[in-house]
Amino acid sequence: MSTHRYIDAICVAVLLLTLLLTILFINGEAYGIQVIVDEDAEAYGHTVLFTENDKNGAWNTSQATQITLNGDHASVFGGGAYAYEGNVIITNKGKYVVSGTLINGSVIVDADGSAKVWIMLDGAVISNSEGSCLDVEQADKVFLSLAEGSENSMTTTGFSKENRDLGMDGTIFSRDDLTINGLGRLTVNAAEENGVVSNDELVLAGGSIDVTAAGDAIHANDGLRIMTTELSLRAQDDGISVTGLESEFYMESGSIALSASDKGIAAGNSVRILGGNLSIQSDHEGIASDNSVILSGGTVEIMAEEDGISANGDVILNGADIRIEAGDDGIHSDTAVMISSGNIEIPSCYEGIEAVTIDVTGGNINIHPEDDGMNANGGADGLGGFNGGMHGGPGDRPDPGQHPMDGTTEPGERPPQGEAPAVPQGLELPDNAEHQRPVSTESADPSEKTGRMMPDDENFPKTETAGDASEGTGTWIHVSGGSITIVNETARDADGMDSNGDIIISGGSIRVSLVNSSSNSALDYGSESGGVMEISGGDVIACGSYAMAEGFDASSEQCSVLYNIKRGAASGTTVSLEDSQGNIILSYDAPCSFSSVVMSCPEMRQGETYTLVIGDSADEITLDTVSASFGDAQSEHFGGPMNWGGMQFRPGN
């Protein structure tokens, strides 16, 4: 009886102690207690992009188990692993060094689900005709390190039916978290399936890795993070595929050079690049994301047969140096493109930047499209984005033959059947019939207008304007900073900046040059659907064809001028604006021929007189209104009154 007399008290004490420990575990940090956790554990809840073990590819091997590969068998010196039927099986946590050559075999990790396994490749050459060369069946995390100065290779020539049925599909295949690091080299060849596969998270944190694959070069499910790694990838499918719905492709340093028969980088969720050098050649999209793409640093070069960058969510560019050559859009988003800094060169594309909303607060942007330079058209993808902003009301867009470019044909009068419109003397207009796009007769339904809040980020302050989403059309081009140049020397029905809704300019420097052909409009906004085109800051020179030219609205805070000329000006002509003292306040050598120019800058004042100079001709104009129109050609657009003037020859110019 005395043996059990304190049993109740002991039980109560144990219960109280258990409750206390539980409370401290849950609220330990609040009480100032530092909780020691394993940041490499899969159950670790905090976000650690790269752990100390990820970054340590030169760990101490003095106590490691030594595995020597000898052709069709292997020798194991130490515990935790054994050789069996031409394979090496690692069953325990710990550290292992692998060297030598293994023919038609595999290194298999089949340890406890909580085990950390370190494998150092030091001159290891492994080939397999039936499955993976490295097969991680179970572990908490495996660190595959490349010994400094070592050359290693893994080659798979095929997969057995048994291995395929088990889901094995990579030369390096892991069902759990995998890190590759170190200071050596690894060559991966996959004659079938993929090169490097992780069904969990994959971290690349060092070494030089060369992958050639019949499928994806690299495939990760729960996320891919890259730092200080040199990657050379060739794939018959995607170069890099990250498939998880909550996964992320993340890169902060290192380099990637890849060529892919499908997408360069395919992300099931998001792409985030903070630094490094990335070069992509792709037969489809260069970077494709089902969610967002954020490029904040580094150098990104893309050559793609389709879109250069394509995202179902936002594209945010704030610091990277980007160069894109694309068969379709240079940059496409189904929602928003936001640019705050960086250099963006798009020397060839169909359309340059396309999204529901386009916001530019900084950066240097240079676009040479075949069609529109910037297109805020509601996000419809595909060649041409046929839902672009229209001149005039629905169905009123005439075909190219209706728009004269000299004085021989009156507006609206078609030339005789079978004859082309008269061309101004001296102008070379290319035959670009193949680039003509179908004409959309659909306009935005004001009842379906929606606003889109800007990110809560100092790089993207919300602009309060008459065209704000709360009052406007829900699709826009907003420019408040940066430098934008759009040059199109080939199109016959294109716009420099094209919005189904608003174009709002409050800062920055904009230059647009479109060849004087057909319905090329330098600036085009959704006036037929309630949109506005206003300017309150920055400087703009936009040159195109007068036939469908549009100027800034009278609601603008900054003065502007729209000047149309029937006779046109040849490519390379200088257009400039002088104040009453003869000082040049705006000037541009237009790369393309033109018959219309829109100009605006903060120095322009209502009521003052200026001289507009085009080549060797000049016209003195007085800005009687905030948005003034001059010239000897009338735009087909529903515009304000035209002051019918004419340019006079200016000797010495």
- 32-54 pLDDT per residue, tens: 545 455 777 765 555 689 999 99
Query: Is 515 domain-assigned?
Result: yes
Q: Is 48 exposed, middle or buried (0-12, 13-18, 19+ CB in 10 A)?
A: exposed
**Structural domains counted in the chain:** 2
Query: Is 232 domain-assigned?
Result: no
Query: Is 57 domain-assigned?
Result: no
Confidence of residue 528 (pLDDT cuts 50, 70, 90): confident
Answer whether residue 403 shows pLDDT above 50: no
Owning domain of residue 153: 64-214
CATH at 588: 2.60.40.10
Predicted TM-score (pTM) of the model is 0.81
**Cβ–Cβ under 8 Å, residues 494 and 384:** no
Q: Is 152 exposed, middle or buried (0-12, 13-18, 19+ CB in 10 A)?
A: buried
Least confident of 149-153, 294-298, 372-376, 566-570: 566-570
> Considering the chain, what is the average pLDDT of its residues?
83
For residue range 628-642, what is the model confidence (pLDDT) as tens digits?
Answer: 999 876 554 433 333
Would you give the distance in Å from CA 205 to the centre of its chain? 23
Element (H, E) at 68: strand 65-71
Q: List residues bridging with 255 in a β-sheet.
A: 230, 277
Answer whether residue 397 shows pLDDT above 50: no
For residue range 427-457, what is the model confidence (pLDDT) as tens digits?
Answer: 333 333 333 323 333 333 323 322 333 333 4
Interacting residues of 302 by C-beta distance below 8 A, sequence separation 6+: 264, 280, 282, 286, 287, 308, 309, 322, 323, 324, 325, 326
CA distances (Å), origin 262, targets 358, 446, 593, 596? 28, 39, 39, 42
Three-state SS at 23: helix
CA pair distance 510, 526, nearest whole angstrom: 19
Answer whether residue 505 shows pLDDT above 70: yes
CA dihedral of residues 547, 476, 481, 332 (deg, nearest 10): -100
Query: Is 17 domain-assigned?
Result: no
Concatenating the DSSP letter of every residue in 73-127 gives EEEEESSSEEEETTEEEE-SSEEEEEEEEESS--EEEE--TT-EEEEEEEEEEEE
Among residues 582, 562, 569, the alpha carbon closest in space to that of 615 is found at: 569
CA pair distance 528, 522, nearest whole angstrom: 17
Query: Is 55 domain-assigned?
Result: no
CA pair distance 33, 36, nearest whole angstrom: 9
Q: Which residue has the tokens 């005039």?
A: 392
Query: Is 454 domain-assigned?
Result: no
Confidence of residue 583 (pLDDT cuts 50, 70, 90): very high
Answer whether residue 322 shows pLDDT above 60: yes
Residue type, 219: H
**Cβ–Cβ under 8 Å, residues 237 and 265:** no
pLDDT for residue 334: 96
pLDDT for residue 491: 82
CA pair distance 400, 547, nearest whole angstrom: 9
Query: Is 300 domain-assigned?
Result: no
Among residues 443, 311, 306, 324, the alpha carbon closest in space to that of 382 is found at: 306
Confidence of residue 477 (pLDDT cuts 50, 70, 90): very high
Q: Which of 162, 186, 214 is the last residue of a domain?
A: 214
pLDDT for residue 9: 67
Q: Which of 186, 214, 242 is the last residue of a domain?
A: 214
Answer whether residue 194 shows pLDDT above 90: yes
Q: List residues bridging with 488 in a β-sheet.
A: 514
Answer whether residue 465 shows pLDDT above 50: no
Question: How many CB atoms are closer than 10 A to CB 444?
Answer: 22
Six-digit token string for 555: 């609601």
Question: How many CB atoms are closer than 10 A to CB 162?
Answer: 10
Would you give the distance in Å from CA 526 to the centre of its chain? 26
Query: Is 486 domain-assigned?
Result: yes
CA pair distance 368, 483, nearest whole angstrom: 14
Six-digit token string for 438: 């179908």
Answer whether residue 117 shows pLDDT above 70: yes
Q: Which of 196, 214, 232 is the last residue of a domain?
A: 214
Confidence of residue 147 (pLDDT cuts 50, 70, 90): very high
